Amino acid sequence: MTSIKGYVEVMLMGASGSLSEQQLRFLNIIKENTDRLAILVNDLLDVSRIEAGRVTLSMQPLDLFELARSAITDLLHRSSEEHKPMQIEIEPAPDLPLALGDLERVRQIIENLLENAYYYTAERGHIRVQMQKAGEQVQVKVQDNGIGIHPELHQTVFERFYRGEHPFVLATSGTGLGLSIVRHLVEMHQGRIWLESSGVPGQGSSFYFTLPVYTANQAT
């Protein structure tokens, strides 16, 4: 796949000579489908490693606000490039403590939830990230005003390969593995993940997850 993608990108840059409009269209189709296949393979490998217990976590104190702010900056840049304006806000509690977690895996959790909110919310929509301490856990909420998820599907969306039938979902490339991976990663951190949604379009969804609060001498 790497070789196919590399040669296609070189051809699209014009290294093999000028291309007709039809040739460009065909090459872009090849590139898009190669990207989809690469995502599927990487997600399948992730699921396989997690379920086989071959994923280890490097636990350390994490500033969730900084992680979320970085992810939001990237998403806003993407929003601009794709001409899909979106309002994205972050609201950390003033006394937000550090969380205990693996830096790259927690980044993956946050980015996945933000990306889902972006995909399934119409342009000029609103995404809000809220963070607060909840007992001995740090709770993160990712809320959108998108298509929503019917209550009967609140557990199903965390199952492998599940994808809804809403036009927004069908128009978006995906493997149906993202939320399954996120659930496993949260549980590996001894946290919880759940969602709230009425399923009414425009009222959106709220995804929550928790991570342990960091205390001294916990990092490994």
Q: Concatenated DSSP letters for 83-135? A: T--EEEEEEE-TTPPPEEEEHHHHHHHHHHHHHHHHHTS-TTEEEEEEEEEET
Give the model's pLDDT for residue 20.
84
DSSP single-letter state for residue 191: -
Kindly list the averaged pLDDT for each block of 10 residues, start to end, along the chain of length 220.
Answer: 81 82 86 76 78 86 97 96 96 96 96 94 96 97 95 89 65 75 94 95 95 80
Give the model's pLDDT for residue 106.
97
Do 131 and 139 form a contact (C-beta atoms < 8 A)?
yes
d(CA 153, CA 196): 11
CA distances from 108 to 20, 64, 155, 195 (A): 39, 12, 20, 18
Give the model's pLDDT for residue 25.
87
d(CA 121, CA 201): 9
Give the model's pLDDT for residue 173.
61
d(CA 130, CA 189): 19
d(CA 214, CA 209): 16
Strands 125-134 and 86-92: parallel
Give the model's pLDDT for residue 184.
93
d(CA 173, CA 176): 9
DSSP single-letter state for residue 217: T
